[in-house]
Amino acid sequence: MIEKKIGNTPLRRCEHLSNKFSTNIYIKDESCNPGKSSKDRAAYFMLEEAIKGNKIQPGGTIVEASSGNTGISIALMAKELGCRAKIFVSKSCSEEKRALLEAYGASIEICDNSFGLHVFNSTQYQAQAYAANHENAYFTNQYYNSANIKAHYKTTGPEIWEQTNHQVTHVIAGVGTGGTISGIGRYLKEQKKNIKILGVEPTNSVYQTFLEHGKVENTGVVHDAIEGIGRTFIPGTFDVQAVDAIYQIDAESSKRAAQDYRADTDQLIGFSSAAVLAAVEQNLSHMNFKHDDHVVLYFPDHGDRYLQKLYNNNQQETTKAFDIL
């Protein structure tokens, strides 16, 4: 059963980054989940609650709006449950993720954007409409499903707490639905209030403004395309009380961070993981790490899902690095 393999992912100290940032840097490697991403956690909790609530029956269709990873996780679990998966992705979804979705048997619909439930041509609107108009179809709705937060409150937060022997001082994670950082932040702040929970989003995304001012103004400016993170609206799965600060980073800096990290470590990291690295590099003085801090960088998936977007200008070397992993 897939659920027995979800979670308890490794936390490893990165010597390269620890030396670079003059503190203890740990990487929470979520690519070790069965679906190779952190979204396995939320998908399992959302589907478990749906089944318990009789919201989906065998043979039905599980529907989600996803940048790819949640869809992949749902496709894997749907097959095990005897259900179909219908995943609505935006045009920015990577080719690698689309291929995986199809390989796992999901039906894909490509939408113009992922701007929320009230935008007709968005993934969220179309997914909701499909579920409402088809019998035995259930929209998991990760952006407003409390099980998304619960998954990380019940599993990821406790894992980080135990794996650092209660010494964690900072957690830095990309913010997409907000469920991951909210669940981790809620749990860890219950253990020790002064743990810093820091989010990362693309330039012109809305979380930073919302966290600082409590509202979002629609400027019409679309945020940088960093797959998996950034929003034009505030989902119900974002808890402002669980997050201390949000840092913004541009897509090009994130790409450079991914390529630099590959060159230094022979490891491929995903787009939002690279954004976290770039944000630390550019805001190191503001983050004010002490030499004995224990800083956890949350890496939600693997770089093999972004070969064309992040590494295609180093194709030969990327293939070599991929073979090592």
Active site amino acids = 39, 272
Compute the CA torsion angle 34, 39, 42, 48 (nearest 10 deg): -40
The residues pairing with 122 across neighbouring beta strands, listed in sequence order, are 113
Q: Quickly list DSSP for 60-115.
A: -EEEEE-SSHHHHHHHHHHHHHT-EEEEEEETTS-HHHHHHHHHTT-EEEEESB--
Distance CA 258, CA 264 (A): 10
The token pair at 60 is: 């039905």
Residue 49 CB contacts under 8 Å (≥ 6 apart), including other chains:
147
Residue listed under structure tokens 């496709």: 75
Amino acid residing at 122 = S
- For residue 254 the two structure tokens come to 């994130």
By C-alpha distance, which of 82, 128, 135, 83 is closest to 109?
128
